[in-house]
Structure 1
Amino acid sequence: MGFKLNLLLISVIPILLFTAAMIGVVTQQTTTLSAELGSLIEERLVSDKRTALTNYAELAESAIRPLVDQSSGTAIEAQQQARTVINAMTFGEDGYFYVYDYDGTNLVHPRLTNLVGQNLWDLQDPNGNFVIQGLIEQARAGGGFHSYIWNKPSTGLEEPKIGFATGIDTWGWMLGTGLYLDDIRGELDLVNATIGRTVQRSFLWVMAFGLLAVLLAAIVVYAFQHNLQRTADEKLKALNRRIVEIQEEQSQRISRDLHDGISQLLVLTRYSLEAVEAELDPAQTEQKATLSRSRGTLDRALTELSSIARNLRPPALDQLGLQQALMSLIEDYQAQSKLKVFADIEALGDKLTEAGKSALFRVAQEALTNISKHAEAERVWITLKVRGRSVQLTVEDDGLGLKTQQQGGLGIANMRERLASQGGRLLLRTLTEAGTGTIVTGIIPLSREVVSR
């Protein structure tokens, strides 16, 4: 087996290394090419936008220059006419012009008319960039560009924008316009997609053959490992099943020895004490009292011994079946715990193997023990039903719920192992936060004879 595995590894590893190297080289080259080309395209697109913005600004400035330079009329009238002209000038879907005075007060904004008249000197974009201050600074310097985040009218979203501002110093105005940069991302994505498709076609066949070889090798390895794992699982299940069987056999033997051996000796001892007491003179009251106390101690020992024997292996489980064994367990539990137990136990007959019945009984036994120790419950519900192709035992309480650390305890682990040995499983549903108790469910498949009927 080791030789076969080594042979498979020797076959697969070079293919994996070669394919990984090819993929790595091509990916690295593609990434580098895409980044370099994307950077060049972005620079070109931004440069084109800067040129376009400069031309738009010059066009707008030339449109109002006669009004600025006019010698007749008042400046107020000329400014009003200029604002009207600029307000009407647009280009494209989101292209427009705006005017601010050098103090930061908006004079013209065709898209966001609510800004007109507001002083926006301290306005910042989401990145903390002073938008109007930056534009006015460029305008005072003779004209220049300023980047910021601004609302795009056509989408209503905040998008990166490059603005160009020029100064109308005669009036103390900043005339500006801008273009949004989100379309650059779209063009870059298109370029990157084209590059990716082109490069992909160049090594597709190499990758295809490499991946096919890896896939075939992986299938062989998986089949080998799966078969090995399945064999190991079957052996582990058989071992677990045998351990549980040995535990039950030992419990049954110890229970029988306690009942037939020690218990009988204690009963004989009790009879001997009764015989001795009967032979005593009535006047020997002190000796009679001592013998009476001894009989009481023996009676308690017999009761405790009987309880231990039943817990180890209840006779009803072997003699009358799981239904009667559970009812006997519930009766004893109610007497000891004073809890109210509601039972709905279905007779199984031969629907479950003896080992399966023992496993479910142990689950019920352990669940009730946990309720007594931890739950602080008042009521318990126990059901045993055939559901589909399996038998389901449910133990529910209205106590505090099962804490996380308890779910990994030895008792829970034992329940899981017993059920797993019979091909079953354990389900825990705890509502600790709500404080409404715990539901323990043990599920075991029906015996093969029943399923095949």
Structure 2
Amino acid sequence: MQLRQKVIFLAITPLILALCAIAWAVRHQSVLLAEQQRATIQQAYLSSKEAELKHYVTLASHSISHLYDSGRNDVDTRQEAMRILSSLSYGDDGYFFLYDMQGNTLMHPRQPELVGQNLFELRDERGQPTIQNLLQRARAGGGLERYMWIKPSTHKPVAKLGYVVAMPKWGWMMGTGIYLDDVERALEKIDVQQSGNIQNTMLWIAGIAVAASVAIASSGLALNISELRVADAKLKVLAQRVVESQEEERARLSRDLHDGISQWLVSIKLQIEAGIIRLSSAKPGQREAAQAVFEHAADQLSNVMGEVRRISHNLRPAILDDLGLAAALHHLGQEYTLSSGTPVHFEASGCTDGLPDVANTVLFRVAQEALTNIERHAGAHRIDIALSGAEAGVTLRIQDDGAGFDAEGIAEHPKRGIGLRNMMERMEAIGGRFDIVSSDGGTVLTAYAGNHV
């Protein structure tokens, strides 16, 4: 995985984790709120139904109070009370029922087949004694009781909330109730709605996560493309500079070979031929003249050998590999002084032997390029080269008292400052630092290379 891809991955991963944590927290809180809301709605709904049932029982009691409070306990009076209660109803499944205190069914408008049956031992599907619990609630002063009962409209057992009261003068238990399946259906609708809201919230968070991830990935991709284009452009410029540098080096070598070694070799050839002619001549004194010619040719061969060594040294000084950077820079300064006449003062301090070979080469090339630029453009009368070593790296400082130049302007000029850009790029390639300050009083160049390139 490339570095840019790792950066994008490290940017997206915390975002996804954070959104997942937010989604979990939101869902957890939403579920808790939904449960609380459901419980609140259920409690409010049941409270309203309980009040409604109590009101119904009160109305039923008032409807037969003239009979119950008359003090009569005959069969006709009771039958009239049963008739009145059986005629009272509300909704499809709202009715009143009567039992005696032994569990015998006295009246049941929706299930007349139960009349006359003793249901004292009746138990629901969970094993709870239905009529016994109702009778116990009535004897305790009346109130609400929840139990299972067959719903007349569906003929299926459904949870029912009943309200019963005792009528001790006649030995009755009167009550009514509502079936809770409607309540459960209403609560199920609320559950479905809340579940849908939670799901929509999760989808929104997921959509935001996907959109954010796509945005980050797109931005990273666009940045990669942009950087690749810039890198490609820089690579093309660098390749062009390499080619230009190679051509310049070849042109310099060609000039050195043509203007120096080639002419000297031609001159030596002509002198040797002249010496051979003089040796073959019988005239007196020609042998001495031939000897002088050969001696001059030998001197020129020595010059040729020196020129070859100079060119070889410029290409890759052997002293750099044999004795190190400090000795190579000192030798470079001496040669510059001999060739240009400008004195070069070299000073080395600290340990400068810890640099890798590539860093030594780069600093040496920087010094070569700097001296070449000074000779061509600065017109300096004095040059100081200082090499200082430390535990972290080595610093090269080259100072001259020349005319100076606009460093920033030349570095940005497309056709000028090739040598300056070469020095900068060489230092960047090894992770070093390069700085140059120039004014009318001279130029100071500083290059730093670390011991761990």
TM-score over 0.5 for the pair: no
Larger radius of gyration: 2
Question: With structure 2 as the length reference, what TM-score do the two structures score?
Answer: 0.44
